[in-house]
A and B are shown apart, each in its own frame.
Chain A
Amino acid sequence: MASCSVEDVLARAEKEEAEKLKSISVHKELELEFDLGNLLASDKNPPDVREFKQQKKEEFLRSLARGNTQLLINELWKLPTERVEEVIVAKLPDPSTRLPREKPVPKPRAPTKWEEFAKLKGIQKKKKTNLVWDDVHKEWKRRWGYKRANDDTKEWLIEVPATADPNEDQFAKRVKAKKERVAKNELNRLKNIARAQKIKVPGAGLTPASQQSKAELQMAMQVAKTSTASVGKFQDRLPKEKPARNTGKKRKFQPLIGDFSSEKQKQLDMLKIMDGKKPRLDITKAVNKQMREEDVESGSKRRKTPGKKGRKGNFSGKGKGKKGRAGGGGKNRKPRMKQGKR
């Protein structure tokens, strides 16, 4: 019994060993193609259709996936490995499969106003050389920027033009002109961005133009007036100056779900005021009342003349109109001039 069991155990162990080995090696008709950089293995073997139909489909797919993964991992083990903090790490080669890009291709930048104009006129960019000859220093210097050739900002003497004011500072004039050009360029840049994004051009209406309209001037003045530390509160006004338009308060609404009881109270107060405003004497109503009295009286007279039994006192103008819901006729002989119960 014991010997038998020992043999059995040995045989089983051998079998298990074989199975383990077998499980590492997977047989394939065609070799798999690997792209280890992407951890990708592609199996070009046609799937065994018959087996797929006979076997449980899930199980078949799972075993296929397991086999292919095993092959991929076998391949990974062939790579040079190292040990980093108790973990074995393989260095992956560069991926060979080209993957499609995640994001769409960026759109080209919208052309600036100048680019549009240049395209319309057929103006082409000309490449200028970077270095130019400086006659003063007798050497090649950069065309633009720091230490540029023929630098007019470095001149120590400027000739005053014949037409210019002799007391004018020509250096300051140059600096000012330069600053204005920079500012103008900056504005154009912002305008181009605004146009590309289809938003309102910044500062429109306030930018200096050669010919400003009346409305533009007005707007510029209003902006200037409110551009003080106290937001124009203490600014002087011209005698007949009109207040600027669109500068009023913005309307503000009560919260949708606020204090219901105060809302109710406000409405009740409003009703009270509305009630109080009603006129005490309503002329048309008084006249109507008078007319009705007369109607009633004449009706009673008519009935009295032919009738043998004239009813006195309470009657409702029955003969006159079927629609009349009789009021207490006799009681109200005198027209009451006041409306409502008080």
Chain B
Amino acid sequence: MIRHATGPAALVIIGLLLPGACKKETPAGSGTSASAAPEPAPASSEKQPPPKPELLGNAERGKELVKTFECNRCHAGTGLEAADFHKDCFQCHRDIISGKFKVADTAKVAKWKKNVMMVQHVPSLEGAGKRLRKQWLTAFLEQPQDLRPNLVPSMPRLALSSQQAADVAAYLTAGEPASKEQSWKANAEAGRTLLETRACGTCHLFTGADLPAKPALKQGESNAAIELAPDLRFTRERLSPDTLVAWLEEPEKMKPGTLMPNLGLTKAQARDVAEYILHAPLKPAAVHPVPKRLAKLDRKVSFAEVQEKVLNRTCAHCHGNPDIAKGDGGPGNTGGFGYKPRHLDLSKYSGIASGYVADDGERHSVFSPKDGAPRIVAALWARHDEQAGKPRPDLRGMPLGMPALPAEDIQVLESWIAQGRPR
């Protein structure tokens, strides 16, 4: 299993470069240390978890699971029809941004537009079978990591077992190239130079490597290429050496419609770049700092403040009120993405007070204690733990697939609960 960027050293990736970004330039350094002579090295010096035996997946079952988990609500290229409009999350966001989404309350749409500006792009799974390693994908589905540092949303932790993850991976990577080992040698130093001269760092980060990179994403502005560009440190786990070379030579051939430009590399050059990406020594991955839990506030906290700072920011989008949404209260209420209906409505006072339906089929309070905190608060902290690479097996971090809330906002919620949850 891959653990927050400290997983077994492996393969490559590629990503997305702005077509116009391939001119020679020397981006500002990322401040990473330099060991100029690349040599085969593990991804980090951190302790590696014992390798997990590879589960054989069943592609047929995987196809059914892709339907169950509704992967097409976010991703293209799943082999399923596009989701209906009201279930197609990212298309809805894009329609809000483009002005196609029409509702009478224009002020509301303007507010939504701000909220979804950085939640409009999602990687397509088109051609995943030609690129991705099944073993990596299985591990990623089980424990998603922050693969794309400039993308605000990330892959949520789905409610799937190891076997189910292997099944989905088997379906999505059907046709995975047989060759997994590197059968050629190349010049890593030349590859590093090429990465710099082709300005790969315009979109890609290569954390832990000695490669200047500084994707420039302006505050509040969206740029698909930069947002979707994966961190190159994961490439060695995701792609086989030959796949990486083929991708670098002709990305469009492997993934039609990709934003990764054809860099015009010769095979030898592609191998040099691949050599560097696959074998450059990497410093340990930076660990997401889990902030300190703050003491409860002395001042009064109203429900309106909790709504503004916590519930309405993200929670109520998935834990909504089905009565005002044609019966669909979102995955956290009426179910979806393979999640059971929890019937939790965080859009209003009586909703949060009404609790959720747990695995035992009974209603429970979201304020019941869980590891020294009200359960709803524990779920928000669990998201910090997930981002730090320590997912909790008994508690899924919230907000699902979105950045953890700042400690100050969690403090507001916790203080409100401690004050007796005033309406």
Q: Do A and B come from one complex?
A: no
Q: Which residues of A contact B (CB under 8 A)?
A: none
